[in-house]
Structure 1
């Protein structure tokens, strides 16, 4: 007897304004198509709070808290107060993005290192976004210690 797989969406942005429907409808559509669990990703203070609020309303949804490299210039400090929320299951989406350079590269590296440290402190997985920054991403990971549970969501080699 074979069992059916349990489908998990580990990286969704159901709060995104580009969605033509509200997040409840998106989640219900996912469930209707066999997705059993979902993790809503935070990319800044606003979306991390939205992810937490959405997760709090659903037993099968969890959240991450993170600062995307595009927003590294904003600093991670505003997100620290969200780390104790019970449904936070990972740090990120974080990393380096040299393709767009929306934040200074040195600032991106510092904020990425800070989020790696938080993942270690809290024993949480790290969700990485890296674009056109492969070598620097691994330099920062090597310097800080790669968390045991690390997910590359977006990368260019």
Structure 2
């Protein structure tokens, strides 16, 4: 059985995939995907996201503000920190995020991103819930802020990982973090990422779709969905020269170790 450790079910357009949420969950079940983690990107949208997936016991949720959405939040910094703590305290929330730093797409909001990230790290420590980290072109600051905030206590994952092997190894060695692999690893031009996947220990890897984006081979060009996480697992198995069954077993165990409330 497989777990999609990071998806955005509320953002998958039913018209583009030809089915509703119930159909997406059923598609996942038919592909032996037993659990999904639906990830929040703004606090304003969190209640609707939570309610959208509330009927499904095999869908967990997170709560947080994506670094590329920090300018869209309607609340001030103090109010947002209090609201994050309130919402993330809900029992069904198993993780804080996604949060992090993205200097590639929005370098102008760097300071605001850092303040937002610092708040999320603090809330994760307070609630003892793991962090879901988005990082792009911000390797040194991401690791430094996680260390300064003692993020090794709640733990976490660098999701949809595309950075260097050195960053992944540092996150594992110094923070005991997990590294999540998406469909990007199956792309033809992702040879460096595949080398990183090959070098990293399987017991620190997760798999994800990040759907509706980044559909893996052989689904490129389609809207992504949790059912396709099995193709990410196949890519990992091929790269590491191990069986698909082993990837399924270990990454599923890793998911439940990290997200203990799932």
Q: Report the TM-score, using the length of structure 1 for normalisation.
A: 0.86
Residue matched to 2:27: 29
2:89–2:127 contact (8 Å) kept in structure 1: no
Q: How far apart are the structure 2 equivalents of 1:85 and 1:102? A: 32
Residue matched to 1:3: none
SS in 1 for 2:11: coil
Residue matched to 2:118: 113
In the superposition, relative to structure 1, how do residues 103 and 31 fare at CA in structure 2: closer, same or farther (>3 Å)?
A: farther
Residue matched to 1:83: 88
Which string of whole-angstrom CA distances, capped at 9 and with x for unpartnered residues, describes residues 100-125 of structure 1? 11761011011001001111000101
Which string of whole-angstrom CA distances, capped at 9 and with x for unpartnered residues, describes residues 9-29 of structure 1? 110111115452332221221
- Specify the structure having the higher radius of gyration (Cα): 2
Relative CO higher for 1 or 2, CA cutoff 8 Å, sep ≥ 6? Answer: 2
Deviation of 1:147 after TM superposition, in Å, equals: 3.4
Out of 89, 95, 101, the residue aligned to residue 106 of structure 2 is: 101
Consecutive unaligned residues in structure 2, runs of 5 or more: 165-262
Structure with the higher helix share, 1 or 2: 2
The aligned length equals 152
Residue matched to 1:11: 6
Q: How far apart are the structure 1 equivalents of 2:44 and 2:23? A: 21
Q: CA RMSD in A?
A: 1.9
1:97–1:131 contact (8 Å) kept in structure 2: yes
Deviation of 1:60 after TM superposition, in Å, equals: 1.0
Residue matched to 2:188: none
2:101–2:138 contact (8 Å) kept in structure 1: yes
Q: Which has the higher mean CA deviation after the structures are superposed, 118-127 or 40-49?
A: 40-49
Consecutive unaligned residues in structure 1, runs of 5 or more: 1-5
Residue matched to 1:124: 129
Structure with the higher strand share, 1 or 2: 1
